[in-house]
């Protein structure tokens, strides 16, 4: 298993971080992007991601100071350092925090910045004029995926992927799996965007996990959009990208990428018309759910499919991360002494919060059809004891109804568990902890920081 590749050299890959970023500054961005995506926060009160995003916005946008404009760049670094000091107490033990502090010190030394001096003022974004919230009628045709199909013989074929609950994955090929996948995992990794989730234990000492963090990177694309990063965490579902914007930036087709807040703090929808993609992010209870509608052409737009590594929405969970849902359900229904067939992975211990009959009754209220979403609901109540997981399954099915192109496949009844030897879910050696991989990659990247040469 390899970490998700955040720097892609394909046609829609990262082409720079904004017009104002000078060459020396760009070496820092792979590191910062990796920090933004890979490290789970040690505590929800640690605001290092906010500090990272503000520095990113100050130095990577169209308003950014060039790295060789020392006074302004140093002021931005001092502001960054001040932000990290303010959150230091709540970030003890957070690798993203300590890596950011190290990176700031290194950059200040390379650019001869003093620790004392002026800081940069927060950048206030200029609101678009009234009426500019709609897509410009003269935006390039390439920035509207469906319109660009009028010269083709066939209409685009759309697919759906979703992740919810403890966690349950529905892949682009309609495989349905229940997985452990604790830590940071890539959901989508193609030429146009990256999606990564972080799953954390629901209960101390339990194998039951749920999504606590989501990062989406929309890559710089032709005349349409600048690179944009969207981040959501527990109790923080923003209605804007990390730089405070709600569209694709300053390009002519910028409004082909837009964020819309459907329910404050609970439901956000992102429309990426230039790639025909719709993303729905929800917070249900404490945890996040993810759903996407995407054309097959975009799904399969990868540089090297064979060496790409894991991409859960396309390949599913590896076998050693899958949970034998049927065995767990049968054993719970029949009682603790019932024999259980071998599982792909040990199932989470079930707390005594919900008896089986109570879990069934609660799930029936919201999910009357006994499909896999209903079964996932029952499983989650038995493994977590959190009634909010009922709503997570309910909204996941509602998102399928909105996003799936084949209305005959809304309800799934046959659970998919890959047999040994299947390429998409072949077992492998135990996965190294992501924070350790992150630290090693960070150390490898530090020599490439500005001025390191």
For 130, list phi and psi in degrees, rounded to 5: -55, 140
DSSP state of 40: P
Share of the chain residues as helix, strand and coil, in percent rounded to the nearest 5: 35, 20, 45
Q: Which residue has the tokens 């009682």?
A: 335
Return per-residue pLDDT of the chain as tens, 453 residues: 443 333 333 333 333 333 333 334 444 544 555 555 445 444 456 778 778 877 876 775 434 455 556 788 888 888 889 888 888 888 877 777 888 888 888 888 888 898 887 876 544 333 333 333 344 444 677 898 887 765 555 778 999 999 999 999 999 999 999 998 899 999 999 999 999 999 999 887 777 899 999 999 999 998 899 999 999 999 999 999 998 999 998 888 889 999 999 999 999 999 999 999 999 999 999 999 999 999 999 998 887 666 455 689 998 998 988 987 666 656 555 544 444 444 444 454 544 568 899 999 999 999 999 999 999 999 999 988 899 999 999 999 999 999 998 888 889 987 555 443 343 433 333 333 444 344 434 444 444 444 444
Tell if the pTM clears 0.85, that is, is over it.
no
Query: Quick check: 430 and 12 in contact, CB under 8 A?
Result: no
Q: Which residue in 319, 314, 373, 310 sits closest to 166, CA to CA?
A: 373
Q: Report how far apart, in Å, the C-alpha atoms of 362 and of each of 353, 355, 366, 411 are.
A: 13, 11, 7, 19
């Amino acid at each position: 298993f390899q970490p998700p590749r955040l720097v892609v050299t394909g046609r829609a890959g990262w082409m720079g971080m904004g017009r104002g970023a000078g060459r020396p500054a760009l070496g820092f961005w792979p590191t910062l992007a990796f920090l933004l995506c890979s490290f789970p926060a040690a505590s929800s009160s640690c605001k290092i991601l906010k500090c990272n995003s503000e520095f990113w916005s100050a130095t990577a946008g169209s308003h950014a100071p060039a790295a060789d404009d020392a006074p302004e760049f140093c002021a931005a670094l001092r502001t960054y350092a001040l932000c990290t000091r303010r959150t230091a107490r709540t970030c003890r033990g957070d690798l993203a925090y300590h890596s950011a502090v190290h990176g700031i010190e290194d950059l200040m030394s390379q650019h001869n910045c003093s620790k004392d001096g002026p800081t940069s003022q927060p950048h206030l974004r200029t609101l678009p004029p009234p009426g500019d919230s709609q897509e410009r009628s003269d935006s390039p045709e390439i920035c509207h995926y469906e319109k660009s199909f009028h010269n083709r013989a066939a209409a685009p074929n759309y697919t759906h992927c979703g992740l919810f609950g403890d966690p349950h994955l529905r892949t682009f090929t309609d495989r349905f799996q229940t997985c452990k996948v604790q830590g940071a995992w890539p959901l989508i990794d193609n030429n146009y965007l990256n999606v990564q989730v972080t799953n954390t234990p629901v209960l101390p000492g339990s194998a039951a996990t749920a999504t606590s963090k989501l990062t989406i990177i929309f890559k710089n694309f032709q005349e349409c959009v600048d690179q944009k990063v969207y981040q959501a965490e527990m109790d923080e579902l923003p209605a804007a990208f990390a730089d405070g914007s709600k569209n694709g930036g300053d390009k002519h087709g910028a409004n082909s990428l837009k964020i819309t807040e459907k329910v404050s703090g609970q439901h956000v929808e992102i429309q990426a018309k230039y790639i025909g993609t719709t993303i729905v992010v929800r917070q249900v209870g404490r945890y996040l759910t993810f759903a996407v509608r995407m054309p097959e052409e975009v799904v399969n737009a990868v540089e090297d499919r064979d060496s790409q590594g894991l991409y859960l929405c396309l390949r599913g969970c590896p076998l050693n991360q899958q949970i034998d849902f049927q065995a767990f359900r049968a054993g719970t229904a029949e009682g603790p002494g019932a024999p259980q067939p071998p599982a792909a992975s040990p199932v989470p211990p079930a707390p005594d919060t919900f008896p089986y009959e109570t879990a069934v009754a609660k799930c029936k209220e919201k999910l009357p059809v006994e499909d896999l979403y209903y079964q996932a609901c029952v499983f989650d109540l038995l493994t977590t004891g959190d009634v909010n997981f009922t709503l997570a399954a309910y909204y996941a099915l509602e998102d399928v109804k909105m996003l799936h192109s084949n209305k005959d496949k809304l309800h799934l009844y046959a659970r998919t568990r890959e047999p040994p030897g299947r390429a998409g879910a072949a077992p492998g050696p135990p996965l190294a902890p992501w924070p350790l991989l992150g630290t090693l990659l960070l150390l490898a990247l530090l020599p490439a920081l500005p001025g390191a040469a």
